[in-house]
């Protein structure tokens, strides 16, 4: 099973990217989580650009999404919403439909007690509009994230480790259930 992981943060040392790397270590050997690292290569969305066969980074992203059995997105919150680069990426996918019925897990993490909950809600709503499948249990909000990771980005909180394992487990289960109904 292939899961494409997308971090909504471009920051070097991002806690959101660290959570996705940790998730990749928590899955069984039959599951591969690949971190997408091309978010900052995607040009600003415009419908006219989309009609002109898009750019190479957009085409590559679409291919990765089509090949993935599921997607796991982890995002910070900027100005009470998801980061602009993440929203831009989703705008590019709206017309091509790679998220249609695709199981998608949503994680937000932040330094406050809110844990990026508004970005989480915004991202979840956008994914619903794109008709992604948001499996029950494949959603996680991580408050006070900086207290739960060490300086190298490794999880030091056993509760968070279990929550992350459960979130990815629900996503994996959704892929299994989907494949049995197809």
pLDDT digits (tens, 9 = 90+) for 138-173: 999 999 999 999 999 999 999 999 999 999 999 999
Mean pLDDT for all residues in the chain? 93
Residue 38: CATH number of its domain: 3.40.50.360
Residue 94's SS3 state is helix
Residue 34: how many other CB atoms lie within 10 Å: 15
- Domain span including residue 117: 2-181
Backbone φ and ψ of 39, nearest 5°? -60, -40
Q: What kind and span of H or E run contains 75?
A: strand 70-75
Read off the pTM: 0.95
What distance lies between CA 176 and its chain's CA centroid?
A: 19
Number of domains into which the chain is organized: 1
Q: What kind and span of H or E run contains 127?
A: helix 117-129
């Amino acid at each position: 099973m292939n899961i494409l992981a997308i971090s909504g943060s471009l920051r070097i040392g991002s806690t959101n990217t660290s959570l996705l790397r940790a998730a990749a270590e928590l899955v069984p050997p039959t599951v591969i989580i690949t971190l997408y690292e091309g978010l900052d290569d995607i040009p600003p969305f415009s419908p006219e650009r989309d009609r002109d066969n898009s750019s190479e980074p957009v085409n590559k992203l679409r291919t990765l999404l089509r090949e993935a059995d599921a997607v796991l997105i982890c995002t910070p919150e900027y100005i009470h919403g998801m980061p602009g680069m993440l929203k831009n990426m989703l705008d590019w996918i709206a017309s091509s439909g790679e998220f249609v019925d695709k199981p998608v897990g949503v994680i937000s993490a932040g330094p406050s007690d809110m844990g990026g909950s508004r970005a989480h809600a915004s991202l979840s709503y956008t994914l619903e509009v794109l008709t992604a499948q948001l499996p029950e249990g494949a959603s996680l909000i991580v408050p006070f994230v900086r207290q739960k990771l060490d300086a190298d980005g490794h999880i030091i909180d056993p509760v968070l480790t279990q929550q992350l394992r459960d979130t990815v487990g629900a996503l994996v289960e959704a892929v299994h259930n989907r494949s049995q109904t197809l």
